[in-house]
Amino acid sequence: LLAADGTVAATVFAEMSALAVSTGAINLGQGFPDEDGPREVLEAAREAIAHGVNQYPPGPGMPALREAISRHQHHWYGLSVDPMREVLVTAGATEALAATLLAFVDDGDEVLTFEPSYDAYGALIARAGGIHRTVPLRFPDWRPDHDELRAAVTDRTRIILVNSPHNPTGAVLDRATLELVVELAHEHDALIVTDEVYEHLVFDGEHVPVATLPGGWERTLSISSGGKTFNTTGWKIGWVTGPAALVTAVLAVKQYLTFVNGAPFQPAIAAGLDLPDRFFAEASASLAAKRDVLLAGLEAAGFATSVPSSGYFVVADAAALGEPDGPEFCRDLPHRAGVVGVPVTAFVHPDRRDSVRSLVRFAFCKRREVLEEASARLAALT
Ligand code: PMP
Ligand code: GLN
């Protein structure tokens, strides 16, 4: 990441957002919504600031938020989580991932993820001294091969890091795959870490938290965040839940990373987690409608697509347009069409990029008229 001249390579998201700004293109690159989330959540943050919730909160997070996270895990998943010992609030899911990997990965330990994978995983695993192993998910259905998964887990595997619902593919891993993850973790004495930030944005199928599976809870740290669920990606309120001994080890690292974070946003996210089921159903239905708008637009423009079951993104194949090189296509697209996407190569190790060379990720967490305009621009691409 650090070049010889001392500069740091920007993440693909920072790079593509900068390109969108400099060209004035529609930014379907970095995944963030272009509308605010629920009024109750925004009001609660304003109130917290007005009422002096502006100093360091307690290290593990404010009790009101830890209790809301515990209620949320029980209400949605039937899990009993002790808010005082089994919940830790973090600076987004990103810090939760960083602190967890730093807590448990020693030099040479292997961490297994599916691939493509969220770009932070590889960077954080390397920073922790670990070795990143992967099992491929293949366009367009992204279903993992169970034999490949079995073969990838060995006694060197320290952590199986599962992201479902999945970025960038929108895949939701099925119960059988997650059960196999639990079985393999037991067989090889590995921990499971789950990244569930898109847990409430599922359109088809069902989100199954690994911690709910038989044998799952005792060796799983579950990570989520309020950013996607409440359209507050800039607030960076995340959390980890799991057995007290595991959560305590993550807290030991967090206390010297950020110490604490986001005081007035913590009660606001707590208010969000307590919203009625209707809110969550409407949020995902509204996003599913946006998915359909962008999917139709991409197909009309000649892309081959895979239909995401969840999340913010659709992956499209530009080879169908005669564009075999995704990174080059994405660099040119803002100039040619006024639209920004992200090449899927950014989510794959450099040695294995050929299989995803022509794939591009587009975000649909945008207003309908923005998606329609982007679709029209892509259809006019020559
Ligand atoms: N994991 C995944 C899969 C994500 O897509 C993101 C955000 N885009 C994160 C983690 C980071 O979440 P946060 O913003 O809460 O740190
Ligand atoms: N998670 C968002 C994405 O995948 C962006 C997060 C970031 O910019 N690091 O687009």
Q: How far is the CA of 309 from the centre of ligand 1 (A)?
A: 17
The per-residue pLDDT for 7 is 65
Structural domain range at position 373? 12-30+278-379
Which band of pLDDT confidence, cut at 50, 70 and 90, is reported for residue 226? very high
Start-to-end CA span in the chain (Å) = 35
Closest CA to 216 of 160, 276, 296, 170: 160
Same-domain pairing of 164 and 264: yes
> 60 and 137 in one domain?
yes
Listed residues 227, 258, 273: the one ending a domain: 273
Say yes or no: ipTM exceeds 0.90: yes
Question: Is residue 110 scored above 90 in pLDDT?
Answer: yes
Are residues 239 and 120 part of one domain? yes
The residue-averaged pLDDT of 100-111 equals 98
Check whether residue 128 and residue 234 sit in a common domain.
yes
Name the residue with tokens 């629920």: 38
42 touches 36 (CB < 8 A):
yes
The mean of the pLDDT values for the chain is 97
Q: What is the C-alpha to C-alpha distance for residues 33 and 236, in angstroms, rounded to an integer? A: 14
Ligand closest to CA 237: 1
Tens digit of pLDDT for each residue in 31-59? 999 999 999 999 999 999 999 999 999 99
The rounded Å distance from CA 196 to ligand 1 centre is 9
Query: Is residue 4 a part of any domain in this protein?
Result: no
Pocket of ligand 2 contains residue 225 by CB under 6 Å: no
**Is 183 among the domain residues?**
yes
Q: Do residue 260 and residue 345 come from a single domain?
A: no
- 230 and 139 in a common domain: yes
Same-domain check for residues 344 and 241: no
Which ligand ends up closest to the CA of 344? 2
Question: Within this chain, do residues 309 and 247 fall inside the same structural domain, yes or no?
Answer: no
The CATH code of the domain that includes 342 is: 3.90.1150.10
Is 22 part of a structural domain of the chain? yes
The average pLDDT across 199-225 equals 98
For residue 341, what pLDDT band results from cuts at 50, 70 and 90?
very high
Decide if 194 is inside a domain. yes
**Ligand 2 and 17: CB distance under 6 A:** no
CB neighbours of 143 closer than 8 A, spacing ≥ 6?
Answer: 137, 171, 174
CATH number for the domain harbouring residue 207: 3.40.640.10
Of all ligands present, the nearest one to the C-alpha of 16 is 2
Q: Are residues 243 and 318 located together in one domain of the fold?
A: no
Q: Which of 273, 305, 332 is the last residue of a domain?
A: 273
Residue 120 lies in a domain: yes
Asked whether residue 47 is domain-assigned, the answer is no
Compute the distance from residue 332 Cα to the ligand 1 centre, in Å.
Answer: 27
Q: Residue 2: inside a domain, yes or no?
A: no
- Cβ 154 under 6 angstroms from ligand 2: no
How many domains does one find in the chain? 2
Per-residue pLDDT tens digits for 263-304: 999 999 999 999 999 999 999 999 999 999 999 999 999 999
Q: Is the pTM of this model over 0.95?
A: yes
**Domain presence at residue 36:** no
